[in-house]
Structure formats: C-alpha cells, structure tokens
Structure 1
Amino acid sequence: MDRRSVIKNAGIAGVLATGIAPAVHAQAAVRWRLASSFPRSLDTIFGSAEMLSKTVKALSGGKFEISVHPAGELMPAFGVVDALQGDNIEMAQTAAYYFTGKDPVFAFSCAVPFGLTARQNTSWKDHGNGRKLLDAFFAQYNFKTASAGNTGTQMGGWYRKEIKTVADLKGLKMRLGGGVFGEGMAKLGVVSQNMPAGDVYQALEKGTLDAAEFVGPYDDAKLGFNKVAPFYYYPGWWEGGADLEFFINVKKYNALSDENKAILDAACKVAATDMTAKYDAVNPVAIKKLVAEGTKLMAFPKAVIDAGFKSCMEVFAEHEAKSPEFKKIHQDMRAFQRDQILWNRFSEFPFNQYMNGVKI
C-alpha cells in the first residue's frame, strides 16, 4: 500500500486507523508560519487553521509544524497576499474576495453574488475546472489554493432600520465582504465599506456604519452585532456558499518533500470538512438564541433581491467586457452552476421543500 496515497486521500482519523505511520525519520524538520485574516475569537474560521496545524503535526510525527497567527499578529488582516508574494510567509488563511482591489477575479475563489452553494463550490473546484483555472490565475501572486472550509449560505446582515423597498438601501453605509457584490450594491445606492471583522462592531456602535454583513448567527453573535443593530435579514444572496481558503506559497510548497506535500494536502481537506460541519452544527442553536434575545429576523422582500440580481448581472457583464480572464472563469462557473441547478430540481430542493412542511 502506498503511504503517500493513504495520507493524501484520507482524513487524520482514517490515516491513524490504518495503522500506517508516516515515514518521518528521514525527513528534516519543517517549520512554517500561517497568517490568518481572522481573529482568534472566531473558533469556526480561525479554528480551521488550528485544525490544519494540529493535523499536519500529527501526521508528520511532529516533523512538520505550522504556527498559526491571527489577524494583526504578523501583519494586518489584508496584508497576507503581499506577504505571500514577497515570500515572507508560507501560508495564509483568508477570504479571496477581500482582494478584489487587486483583480475582481479573486472573488470567484470565495463567493460571488447568486453564485455556487457550498457543495457546488467544492464540486466545481475539485471535479470541474474551478481550482485549475483559479490556481493558474493566482500563480502571478505566488500562491496556490486549498479550501479551508465553507460557511454555507450566509445571512443577509444586520441593519439599524428595516429594509422594505430598494429605496431603503440608498445612502446605506454597509460593511461588505468585498468583490462584485459591493459594486452591485453600489448601483442600488449602498456605500460599500470593506473592513476586517474585528473592526465592525465599533463602527456599528459609533454609527459610522448603518449595516454590516459577515457570516451567520454563530459568528455574528460572537462579534456582538445583535447588540448594535436589531434587524437581521436573510438570505445572503451574495454568498450562497463562501469558501474560505488556505493560500499556499508556491515556492515553499514545491520545496517540500513528496511526503510533506501529501501531509499538507490531506490536512487541508480535514480542516475544510471540519469547518463546514461545525457551521451546520452551531448555526441553528445560535439563531434560536438570537431570536430569543430580541433579534428581529426578517426576510428580504423579493423586489430587493430582484434588484440585487439585476445590478450584479450588470457588474458581471461590465467585468467580462474588460477582462478575458474574468469572462473565462465566470462563464465556466455559470455553465457548471446551470447543471447543478438542473440536478437540484430533482434531488435536494424537492426533498428539503417537503421536509420544511412536515413535523418531525
């Protein structure tokens, strides 16, 4: 049995269950640093980086270690791409759409409005053209990607006032994750601001923000948004399944032994699966608690979502006209999505629709 194959294709529990210990005796010790764009308090997202580190250490018998650093410890939250490009760190954990100021193509590696769900995103990247296309693009920034976990469909954010019509969005100062969503919302009159998660509460409290979106009930409650904005809207149509990612310095990765490459690849998959599963476990409990504490849970009016769809499709068309790279990746993603939507009509959608209507 090939040890590297076992390590690469199984999670940590599966590897340990085989009784096959990685051959670490001939390996020189490797010490990497990972800079996250997230605070340590977010045990869902930051916890994925910690799971990666734990798994790498276990699989290598301590010969390969990755120290994990929260936003601001080694560099600012949004400084990780420059650090990778300059060979200053080996890895980062971030949301790719934070960096659309460098190029709008970054957004496809995390989430775009009316885009892929968590499962569709994984499928497109791992069994479609997604990862291949994106890594070819990211080569110019000196990194390759691996999923750090997906949040699933996100919430629509926290608002100081009700959003009854599209007109209520005009002039709204809102923290948005980044990417073409901000441009689409700007067409509706929203003043988009991209800032690290750790800075949002204070901005809402001081009134320099009128609204903010981050992820969902569990993370949002940890950040305290419910204390400064009473209205909590759904769904987050701009993030049908946001993929957080590990950015891996290509030069550092290529310098690893085959053994350590396999260990790192396997550890990324363990961490990604764990994050997504954790979100599904903790969000239902968190949303019940928020509502019990007075949060006003609201559905976006369909007219608002329709207006968002129209404005975002205009933004996609504008970027396609300017960037062949953007067009190639966007068109590939949409072709994949159309097949996924077709299959979903006969699989999860009718099943979930039925289960939502019965008592269990």
Structure 2
Amino acid sequence: MNIEIGKKIKALRLQKGMTQEALAAKLNMSSQAISKWENNVTMPDIQLLPRLSVILGVTIDELFALTDDAHLERIENMISTEHFISTDDFTYAEQFLTEKLNNDHKKTQSLTLLAELHIHRSEEHRELASHYAKDVLKFAPNSKRNHNALRDAENGVIFDWNFSNHHKLIEYYKNFVPNHPDYWQAYVWLMNYLLADGRCAEAKEILERLNKIHPGYLYLLYGGLICKEEGALAQALTLWEQMTDLYPDEWLAWSSRGDCMAKLCKYDEAIEYYTKGYELQPNPKYLDSLIAISHIHEIQGKYDKAIEKLEEIIKQLEINWGIAEGKTVDFYKGEIENLKIMLNKQI
C-alpha cells in the first residue's frame, strides 16, 4: 500500500528499533532533519535514497511511493512550516497541484494550496524587499522612491485614496453575497471593506442582513464600529460594553472588544479583554490574543513583558498545536532576540 514517505521512514525505523538519533548518525546528519522527514515537512535528498533504503531494508521504489493525499499533505506542511521554500520544492509543488486541477476530487484543495503557495512566495519576496529597502535607506534616507519600496514591501499605509480604497474587493463581495446568501462570513468580509473605506450607510444595510441569518455578538460589534467611523465614539463604547454583557461566555466577543480598545490606544483595557477572551477559549486555543498583548507591550516599551508573552506563545504553540519548530517558531524566536536588543538599549 502506498504511504507518505515520512511516515514510511518512521515505521521502518521503529521496526528496526532505531531512534531518530541512530538513523541520523548512520546518514551523517542531524536528528532534526530526520524529524522533519517524519513530520512531512521536508523530504530526503535524492542522493540519500540509496543509502537510506539499504539502512531501512527496502527498495527505493518501495520507500518513495507516495499517494496523492501524501503529496498534498506534504505541500500543506511545507507551506505552513518552511520559512523559505526552495526553488525545486516550489516547482514540484506548483507542478503537482496544477496537474491535480484536472482531478475533480482534488481540484478544490489544489486551488487552495496553489493560492497559499504563491502567497508564501510573495511573502518571501516582500521580506527580502523590506530588507533591501531598509538597507538602502541607510545610504539614501531622503529618497522617496526607497521609502515607497519599504511601504510596498511591508504593506504599509498610503493616504492617497486612489490607491488605498477597496472598491474592487467590495464589488466582488457584493456579487458574492447574493450567490451565497447563507454563508454569513461573506457579509463580514464585505462589511470590513466597506468600513475601511468609510462607506457606513452600505455597511449598516449589510449588518442588518447579516443579523437576520446569523444573530449574535457581531451585530453589536459592527454596530459599534459603524458608530466609531461616523464619529459617535460614546455610542460605540456603549455597544461594545453591551456586547460582552449579553454574551459573557463568548470568547470572540471579549477578544473583539480587545481589538476595539487597542485601536483606540486604550491598551490596559485591551489587555484585560484579550486576556479574558483567551481564558474563555476552548482547546486548542488560538494565540491571536497573546500576540496582540505582546504587540502592546512592545509599543509601550515594556520589552521584558513582551518577551515573556512571546515565550508563552512559543510554549502554547507546542501545547495546543504540536508546533515545536519551523517558520512560525523561528519567527517568534527572532522577535525575542530583537526585543532583547531593545531591552539592553533601555538598560
């Protein structure tokens, strides 16, 4: 029976009573590399296959047999865990997914992964672009062109309405909603873009339609956001307070109230509501609230507290999601190192 190569390596290794460290020693490599194979993050280099097959007692063909589902799982793991995807791996993933567009059973998943694969590649390029833009600004700090490059690399803010409005996305979702009237999340996507562009009258109409098919805390949340956009902040604050009063056990209501307070720079209140929302979450917990709290501490210059929160995030990634390595963990470890530099400067 065909089986994903990482799982097959693990099964054969265990059959022979070998640890990851023992297999790694025979191949003259790290146990972390073996772990990545077995967790379907990376695959063995083709040059290792003859030696690997001998150690495990199978032929190369038996070792390397992969089902379509195994390929898809590997690509998904690659996107979610790898910081930079090699050119060879990107080409392999793109070609495999493109071929599966002709398979009705795999088409939807393949299209999703193709979108995520190219988003990943664009994020890689933006990270490099940001690095180069910051470097050149050291030498040409008065260059508008270089500042524009940094803005575009970091998805920064531009005041010019002509470039910052969302009318194309709004038009897309205005057409999408009638075709999917029972998919309530589409109404939320549409409201977000309408509010970002200050189109409050249209947002109110969409909010009423949303409330008919999906009543709940969102009615008060977005009602408050519309009031805030219209300049009625006191009314917005009242609606958000009512939201958590009426839905005290809804963790998203508390976390959303934290978002609202953070955007008003009411940071102490934001931390209180984020913490409440996080505590109410069932397991496995999403970590957005902890990430937001770390951002607030950094903004406040409380780098020691920001570091503590990031360390908690790394711990919870493993506890809640089984993620102990890869690009997400590496990112937060990098943020901790940067904050330690800032903390030392304070001292």
State TM-score, norm by structure 2.
0.24
Q: Relative contact order, CA 8 A, sep 6+: which one is greater?
A: 1
Counting strand residues as a fraction of each chain, which structure ranks higher?
1
Counting helix residues as a fraction of each chain, which structure ranks higher?
2
Structure label with greater radius of gyration: 2
